[in-house]
Every structure is written in structure tokens, then in C-alpha cells.
Structure 1
Amino acid sequence: MEGQIPTKNSGKAKRVLFVCTHNSGRSQMAEAFFNEYAPPHLRAISAGSQPAERLNQTVVNAMKERDIDISSQKPKALTVDMLDSADIVITMGCMDSNACPAAFVPTIDWGLDDPEGQPIRIVRQIRDAIESMVKQLIEQKFNEKLTSP
């Protein structure tokens, strides 16, 4: 059905998986915003098809501007178990890449630019777009109220 999120069951989704190539920027921001704004029965995790060694420091700094500290997060490798246990998989633009194993499961692709190597002003734009999309996901697709403004 047009506009519907692909889910594994007809019940309320409980876990969202955000996927990007390196899990050092976009998907980490989406995970943090989702877990900040969603009610406790909805949780997000993130992973990458080719995880980086560490988070993008500009992304960490941009999130600190929103009072969200992701500095202790580590990039995680995407696994089949993660894909299997997710109710919804959202990719951050990696669907263009052959390295995106999420291409083999139903996903929603947000098609966001990669913040790697970008100046802080561009990273802020990406961060703000992710924040807005996460809020819309929680409010419109899950019909839930945000737990933070």
C-alpha cells in the first residue's frame, strides 16, 4: 500500500533499524534522535555495511549542539540477525551502493547525503533533516507523541 512502512507483522512495530554504509554519521544520528523522541516501547538501533573505525567527530559535535551525546557510540556491522529482528529498516542513502545488504529486505530509503568530509554547516543541515524525518516517523507512521520537544 502506498505510503505504508513495510513491517514484518501487522502489530505495532517495536524496533527500527537505521542503516548507512559506515554507521559513523547518518544512521547514528537517526538512532539517537529516535531513541530520544520515541516512547519507550519503540527503540532504534543502527548499523553499517562497511562500519568505520570511529564516529565522524563533526557529527558528534553537531549532535552535542542538540544536547545529545553520541560520543560513546561505536560503529556496528550490519548483521542478518539485525535485519531479521527489525520491524522496519530505514536506509540513509546507501541503496545506491552495491555494499548495502539492506537491499535484500523491504526498506524505506531516506536518500540523505553522507556527512563524511563535510563542513559543520552541511552536517547541521543533514542533522536537521534527519531530526525532522525521525519526528515525522514517530508521529505519523507510529501515531505516537514525541517524548521530547
Structure 2
Amino acid sequence: MKFLGKQQNLKKILFVCVENAGRSQMAEGFFRKYAPRGWAPISAGSRPTPQINPLAVQAMKEVGIDISNQKPKELSEELIRDSWLNISMGCIDKTECPAIFVGKFEDWGIEDPKGKPLEKVREIRNKIEEKVLELVTKIESN
């Protein structure tokens, strides 16, 4: 994915999960909201689904973030190479996300919301927001 204009110089955080339909999309939405100037999020999956989990969209709307127009994207070497930090949302499986182990990497170990009821998706959303805020604090203190 190419970024145009001013966005070219942004430092990118890549959020990765297998389907790019829930956790990584929520993380992208939160980071877009809280990111310091000069930073941008992107998310991708090793086996992206055709659409975002509707409960993830609903849970994010409840906190004022609309991710309904985001689309699942396929993880690529270019996305990984162009990212300042690669974050696995919890797919620390080298068969599913082998490329993410290249470069600067963190695993957040967050439960997959797929097939979970809305109440559980909200809990997962809240955990993702906490982790994104911790990341933003770390970035701002450097």
C-alpha cells in the first residue's frame, strides 16, 4: 500500500491478526484516534476475511470510533518492511503469521473476538484500547 503526500513520512504501526476482521481493526481505529503527530496505523491479516466482524464495528461505534469503512487487508512484506513496529494481536503462530517475526515486533496476546457475544467483544475492545494507550505513552516518552 502506498501512502501519498504528507503521509509518506509518517512512522507506521502495523497491527496484525489472522483475519484482520476484529482485533487488528479495532487497534487500528484506536491508534488512529490517539496517535501522536507523525504516526499512522495500518492493519492486515495473513488470511483476511471479506469483511470486518460486525460486532467489532458495533463495539467501536459505542466508544465513538467508526471502523465500518475499513477493509481487511492482506499482510505483505512491504507492509512489514515499511512499519516502525509490527504488533501481533495474538496470532503468535509462525504458521499463520510467519512474516511478522521480521523487524521490531511485539505480541499483545489478545483473545480473538470471532464468534464471541457482544459483551465479550466489548471486553476485548477495552483491552485493546488499554494496550494502544500504553503504546502511545511509550512513543511519546521517547
Question: Which category describes the TM-score, using the shorter chain as reference length?
Answer: 0.7 to 0.9
* Deviation of 1:143 (Å): 1.9
Alignment partner, residue 42 of structure 2 = 45
| Cα root mean square deviation, aligned | 1.4
1:135 alignment partner AA: L
1:91 aligns with 2:84: no
Q: Deviations over 1:12-61 (max 9, x none)?
A: x8110000000000000001100101123111100000000100000000
1:18 aligns with 2:15: yes
Ranges of 4+ aligned residues in structure 1 off by more than 4 Å: none
The runs of 5 or more residues in structure 1 that have no matched partner are 1-12, 145-149
Counterparts of 1:104-115 in structure 2, within 5 Å, are 104-106=101-103, 107-115=105-113
SS of the aligned residue for 1:35 comes to helix
Aligned residues with identical type, % of pairs: 50
SS of the aligned residue for 2:50 comes to coil
The 10-residue stretch of structure 1 (81-90 or 91-100) with the greater mean CA deviation from structure 2: 91-100
> Structure 1 length normalisation: TM-score?
0.84
The runs of 5 or more residues in structure 2 that have no matched partner are 1-9
SS of the aligned residue for 2:66 comes to coil
The 10-residue stretch of structure 1 (31-40 or 50-59) with the greater mean CA deviation from structure 2: 31-40
2:83 alignment partner AA: A
